[in-house]
């Protein structure tokens, strides 16, 4: 009887997603898909953020320059986007972007996620090249 009950509970949890492998382990960014190049003064790109763990939503994503990733002071800005619903991956629309560059330039940014309880991922590095048209 206990074995049957255990099997029923495991089945119910699995249907609810509680046994999903993405909920195992610490809250972390596994990968960020991003454009390798962005045209200076051109359209913004998008980030696709793959994560694992069991964060409490809403989750806030911050995309900002690394300490030494912005070669032209004042030309790099941070952007923040809040995700209300549990989605994996998260689509961060409108980043990256670059403006005002006069030559092809490597830009270093990072992505960090923070959940509703204040649990933050380790920043995930993102590098792209701002290119002239």
Per DSSP (E only), the strands in the chain are 28-33, 37-39, 46-52, 59-65, 79-83, 90-93, 105-114, 124-131
- According to the model, what pLDDT value does residue 125 have? 96
Please state which of the four CATH numbers 2.60.40.10, 2.40.160.40, 3.40.50.300, 2.60.40.4070 is assigned to the domain occupying 21-131. 2.60.40.10
Report the percentage of the chain scoring pLDDT > 70: 82
When computed from its CA atoms, the radius of gyration of the chain, rounded to whole angstroms, is 19
Does the pLDDT of residue 13 top 70, yes or no? no
Tens of pLDDT, residue by residue over 19-74, are 333 456 899 999 999 999 999 888 888 999 999 999 999 999 999 999 888 887 77
Residue for token pair 């495991």: 10
| Per-residue tokens: 9 | 């509970």
Domain range annotation of the chain? 21-131
- According to the model, what pLDDT value does residue 2 have? 40
Question: What number of residues does the chain have?
Answer: 133
Report the percentage of the chain scoring pLDDT > 90: 59
């Amino acid at each position: 009887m206990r074995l049957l009950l255990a099997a029923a509970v495991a089945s119910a949890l699995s249907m609810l997603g509680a046994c999903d492998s993405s909920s195992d382990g610490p809250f972390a960014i596994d990968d960020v898909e991003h454009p390798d190049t962005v045209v200076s003064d051109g359209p913004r790109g998008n980030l696709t953020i793959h994560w694992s763990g069991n964060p409490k939503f809403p989750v806030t994503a911050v995309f900002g320059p690394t300490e030494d990733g912005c070669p032209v002071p004042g030309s790099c800005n941070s952007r923040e986007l809040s995700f209300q619903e549990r989605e994996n991956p998260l689509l961060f629309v409108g980043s990256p972007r670059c403006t005002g560059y006069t030559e092809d330039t490597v830009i270093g940014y990072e992505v960090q996620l923070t959940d509703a309880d204040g649990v933050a991922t380790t920043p995930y590095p993102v590098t792209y090249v701002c290119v002239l048209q």
